[in-house]
Structure 1
Amino acid sequence: MSEQQSVGAATFDYFKFKPVTCHLIDSLARSTIWCAQPSKLNDPFDCQINLKDSFSRAAVKSSGAHKKWLEQFCRDGKFFEMWEKLFKQVGVCSFSLNLYNSLMWSHYADEHKGVCLLYRFAEKFLIDPTSKIIGVDEVHYEPDVLTDWLANDPPTDDPYELSVELTKIYLMAKAPDWSYESEARIVRFDHGLFAIPPDSLIQVCFGLRTPEADVARIKKATARRGSQVQFCQIVRGKGKDFGITAVEL
């Protein structure tokens, strides 16, 4: 059973903690994931950085031609309008890199009554233009990620390409307080349901308290995908007062 991200030339392994709901059952049966609009995320500071302010602070940190370049963008209302239009359309799907995070089980998997899904995404799927993916990366937990990136000379002067790169950096940044989540994200040009290959889901792990009826519902839903899915369940770990581990079912 995977415990963290496995990054190679071919695959990315990500965990998704979820309560058992009708929406989850439907997404399992239909092989979809939900990419939320940034404004709908649970942290009011998440994806709500003041972009103009970041440009201004980056200009203060810079000098010479790069400083002038940043100051020019600060005055360019059309660029920010273009970026805001793009930003309103994008979608974010959040994952974790750690199956054995007790806080994630409590906060996002209905106090251990839910599940943790393990997805293994093929790189060729993630880079396929039809997937409309802007970026896939681990979240950076730093207080000034975007400002520092702008100050360190972004890789393009093209306004549209810059707006796309900005969106990627913007959505992969969170305050250091959230680092316990060990989060990774998929960012797409579109929000809403995102159809993924059925074989992307490789494991479902049930919580300490997942009801048997929900276990049965999930097994039935995954059987409709036509792909092999492994099942396991969280149990109390031996050798530690608060440890947890997973056993195969």
Structure 2
Amino acid sequence: MIWFSTAEKLNDPFEFSFHLSEMHINGFPIDEVSLETAIRAMKQMGVLPFSEINDNILMWSHYSESHKGFCIEFERTDSNALGNWDHCMPVLYDDNLPAVRPIELGDKKVVSKILTTKSELWTYEREWRILVEKGNQTYLLPGNITGIVFGYKMPVDIRQEIARILGGTVTYMHAVKSATKFAVDIKPVSLSDLTS
């Protein structure tokens, strides 16, 4: 099982934000209370974010308790949710909030654009996301776990515990500080090194 958070629990205050390009539908003014209710409901949807990369030091700092956590690698195939573009969508990066006409809020493609557009400041994350109707709860894994990358500060006993649980079913790697750059290099780790 894996946790899907709601948009309001994520660290970007602009998650699921947009602006209306007009404040009426067919000449009738927008009911502000109904609009706020719709926005609140949208922000209760569940989000499971992924990244194409596993070696960004900012993400290790922000999302893994300052390099003490780990990164999970998933298998992406045509037969699982990660390989289905209707379920797992790339995040779009832009300088502006999506502009939406009120009547478009019923269009699935327009709503998907709202839910997957973030500021260009977040481009370094190279994010993809799966969205579900209700957040702040667990769902089945979207694909098989194929690898674990340990943060360079992760304690040895926790690495060993993860290896004990997963055994030889996945590959193990760890982040190592580069000797020449402000970067981490991802290096393989053998199961025998973790369990000895």
| TM-score for both structures, normalised by structure 2 | 0.77
The alignment-based identity, stated in percent, is 24
Gaps of at least 5 residues in structure 1 are 1-31, 60-69, 152-156
Partner of 1:21 in structure 2? none
**Does residue 1:137 correspond to 2:89, yes or no?**
yes
Amino acid at match of 1:167: V
Range with bigger deviation, 75-84 or 107-116: 75-84
What RMSD in Å do the two structures reach over aligned CA positions?
Answer: 3.4
Give the alignment partner of residue 21 of structure 2, picking from 26, 51, 55.
55
Does the 8 Å contact 1:134/1:168 carry over to 2? no
Structure-1 residue corresponding to 2:192 = none
Identify unmatched segments of 5+ residues in structure 2: 190-196
The equivalent of 1:105 in structure 2 is 60
Q: In 2, are the aligned partners of 1:134 and 1:188 still within 8 Å (CA)? A: no
**What does residue 230 of structure 1 align with?**
171
Offset, 1:212: 0.7
Partner of 1:24: none
SS of corresponding position for 2:154: coil
Mapped to 1, the partners of 2:27 and 2:70 lie a distance apart of: 45
8 A Cα contact 1:55 1:71, kept in partner: no
Structure 1 residues 75, 123: closer, same or farther in 2, change over 3 A? farther
Q: How does 1:84-163 map to 2 (within 5 A)?
A: 84=39, 87-126=42-81, 135-144=87-96, 146-147=98-99, 150=100, 160=106, 162=107
Secondary structure of 2:122's counterpart equals helix
The superposition leaves residues 130-182 of structure 1 with CA deviations (integer Å, 9 ceiling, x where unpaired) of x9x964222112023521xx47xxxxx8974x1x3333111111112222222
Alignment of 1:1-249 (within 5 A): 32-47=1-16, 49=17, 51=18, 53-56=19-22, 71-72=25-26, 75=29, 77=31, 80=35, 83-84=38-39, 87-126=42-81, 135-144=87-96, 146-147=98-99, 150=100, 160=106, 162=107, 164-191=108-135, 192-196=137-141, 200-223=144-167, 228-237=169-178, 240-249=180-189
**Structure-2 change in CA distance of 1:194 and 1:79 (3 Å):** same
Aligned residue in 1 for 2:194: none
The answer to whether the Cα contact below 8 Å between 1:36 and 1:93 also exists between their aligned partners in 2 is yes
| Pair 1:100–1:40, CA change in 2 (3 A) | same
Helix, strand or coil: the match of 1:241? coil
Contact 2:89 2:129 (8 Å CA) reproduced: yes
2:104 and 2:110 in contact (8 A); partners too? no
Note if contact 1:234-1:245 (Cα within 8 Å) is conserved in structure 2.
yes
What letter corresponds to residue 26 of structure 2 in structure 1? Q
* TM-score of the pair, normalised by structure 1: 0.62
CA distance in 1, matches of 2:169, 2:51: 22
Whole-angstrom distance in 2 between the partners of 1:93 and 1:178 = 16
Of Structure 1 and Structure 2, the greater strand share is in 2
State how far apart, in whole Å, the 1-side matches of 2:110 and 2:27 are.
13
Give how far 1:84 is off.
4.1
Q: After superposition, what is the alpha-carbon deviation per residue over 1:192-223, rounded to whole angstroms, capped at 9, x for unaligned?
A: 211126x6210001111111111012122324
Cα deviation per residue 1:62-111 (whole Å; 9 max; x = unaligned)?
xxxxxxxx743974549847844752542111122111101111111122
In structure 1, how many angstroms separate the alpha carbons of the residues matched to 2:40 and 2:65?
A: 35
How many residue pairs end up in the alignment? 187
